[in-house]
A and B are shown apart, each in its own frame.
Chain A
Amino acid sequence: MINKDKEAKKTAMKELRGLRKSLIASASSTMKIQKKDIAAIKAFLKGGAATIPEIAAGIDMPTDKALWYMATLKKYGQIVEVQKEGAFFKYTLSEQEKNYEKAEA
Chain B
Amino acid sequence: MIPTDIFNFDTLVVGGGIAGLQTALDLGDQGYKVAVVEKDASIGGKMIRLSKVFPTLDCASCITTPKMSAVAHHENITLFTYCELNSLDYDGSGEFQGMKALITQKPRYVDPVKCIGCRQCEYVCPVHIPDMEQGGLSATKAISIPFSNAIPQLPIMDIENCMLCGQCEKACPTNAIDYLQKPEEFLIASKTAVVTTGFDLLPVKDNTQYGNGKIPNVIDSLQMERLLAPHGPYNRVLRPSDGMEPDSIAYVQCAGSRDKSMGVSYCSRVCCMYAIKQAMLLSGSLPLADITIYYMDIRAFGKGYEQFYQNAKAMGIEFIKAKVARIDRGENGSAQVRYELQDGSGTATANHDLVVLSMGMVPGWNPEQPVCPVSKDTDQFITSIKPKISPVLTDMDGLFVAGAAAGPKDIVDTITESGSAAMEAAKFMSKSLMEN
How many inter-chain residue pairs (CB < 8 Å) link A and B?
90
Q: Chain B residues near A63: list those with CB within 8 A.
A: 241-243
* B131-179 at interface with A (beta carbon < 8 Å): 131, 134, 137-140, 142, 159-164, 179
Selected interface stretch from B75-83, B122-130, B187-195, B298-306 = B122-130
Q: Chain A residues near B137: list those with CB within 8 A.
A: 68, 71
A64 to B193, CA, bound (A): 45
Contact of A31 among B127, B234, B235, B247 (CB under 8 A): B127
Q: Is B408 an interface residue (CB 8 A)?
A: no
- Nearest A residue to B162 via CB reads A27
Q: Is B216 an interface residue (CB 8 A)?
A: yes
Secondary structure call for the A interface: helix
Q: Is A52 an interface residue (CB 8 A)?
A: yes
Contact of A52 among B127, B140, B163, B242 (CB under 8 A): B242
Encode contact with B along A50-86: 1 for CB under 8 Å, 0 otherwise: 0111001000000110111111101110000100100
Most buried by A among B123, B126, B235, B243: B243
**Whole-angstrom distance from the CB of B390 to the nearest CB of chain A?**
46
Q: Is A89 an interface residue (CB 8 A)?
A: yes
* A2-45 at interface with B (beta carbon < 8 Å): 9, 12-13, 16-17, 20, 23-24, 27-28, 30-31, 34-35
**Whole-angstrom distance from the CB of A66 to the nearest CB of chain B?**
8
**Whole-angstrom distance from the CB of A49 to the nearest CB of chain B?**
13
B123 and A76 form a contact (CB under 8 A): yes
Interface size on B, residues (CB 8 A): 32
Q: Is B314 an interface residue (CB 8 A)?
A: no
A88 and B243 form a contact (CB under 8 A): yes
Q: Is B233 an interface residue (CB 8 A)?
A: yes
A27 and B142 form a contact (CB under 8 A): yes
B161 and A27 form a contact (CB under 8 A): yes
Q: Is B180 an interface residue (CB 8 A)?
A: yes
Q: Is A87 an interface residue (CB 8 A)?
A: yes
B164 and A24 form a contact (CB under 8 A): yes
Encode contact with A along B228-258: 1 for CB under 8 Å, 0 otherwise: 0000011110101111110100000000000
Could you say which interface size class chain A belongs to?
Answer: 35 or more
B139 and A51 form a contact (CB under 8 A): no
A69 to B130, CA, bound (A): 10
Q: Chain B residues near A56: list those with CB within 8 A.
A: 242
- Nearest B residue to A84 via CB reads B245
Contact of B162 among A23, A51, A71, A76 (CB under 8 A): A23
A71 to B131, CA, bound (A): 11
Encode contact with A along B273-311: 1 for CB under 8 Å, 0 otherwise: 000000000000000000000000000000000000000
Known contacts A71-B233, A72-B138; is-contact A27 B127 (Cβ 8 Å): yes
Q: Chain B residues near A27: list those with CB within 8 A.
A: 127, 142, 160-163
Known contacts A9-B180, A12-B180, A27-B162; is-contact A53 B242 (Cβ 8 Å): yes
Known contacts A27-B162, A52-B243, A67-B243; is-contact A16 B180 (Cβ 8 Å): yes
A70 to B167, CA, bound (A): 23
**Whole-angstrom distance from the CB of B199 to the nearest CB of chain A?**
27
B163 and A28 form a contact (CB under 8 A): yes
B161 and A72 form a contact (CB under 8 A): no
Contact of A87 among B138, B235, B240, B247 (CB under 8 A): B247
Contact of B163 among A16, A24, A66, A69 (CB under 8 A): A24
A68 and B164 form a contact (CB under 8 A): no
**Whole-angstrom distance from the CB of A13 to the nearest CB of chain B?**
7
Q: Chain B residues near A53: list those with CB within 8 A.
A: 242-243
**Whole-angstrom distance from the CB of B141 to the nearest CB of chain A?**
9
**Whole-angstrom distance from the CB of B370 to the nearest CB of chain A?**
29
**Whole-angstrom distance from the CB of B314 to the nearest CB of chain A?**
27
Q: Chain A residues near B123: list those with CB within 8 A.
A: 76
**Whole-angstrom distance from the CB of A40 to the nearest CB of chain B?**
14
A34 and B243 form a contact (CB under 8 A): no
**Whole-angstrom distance from the CB of B65 to the nearest CB of chain A?**
20
**Whole-angstrom distance from the CB of A6 to the nearest CB of chain B?**
13
B159 and A20 form a contact (CB under 8 A): yes
A53 to B243, CA, bound (A): 8
A sample of 30 cross-chain residue pairs with beta-carbon separation below 8 angstroms, ordered by A number, consists of A9-B180, A12-B180, A13-B164, A16-B180, A23-B159, A23-B161, A24-B162, A27-B127, A27-B161, A27-B162, A28-B163, A30-B127, A34-B128, A52-B242, A52-B244, A53-B243, A64-B242, A66-B243, A67-B240, A67-B241, A67-B242, A68-B137, A68-B138, A68-B139, A70-B243, A75-B233, A76-B123, A84-B245, A89-B238, A89-B245
- In the complex, besides A27-B161, A52-B243, 8 extra interface pairs with C-beta distance below 8 angstroms are A16-B179, A24-B164, A27-B127, A27-B142, A34-B126, A71-B138, A72-B139, A88-B243
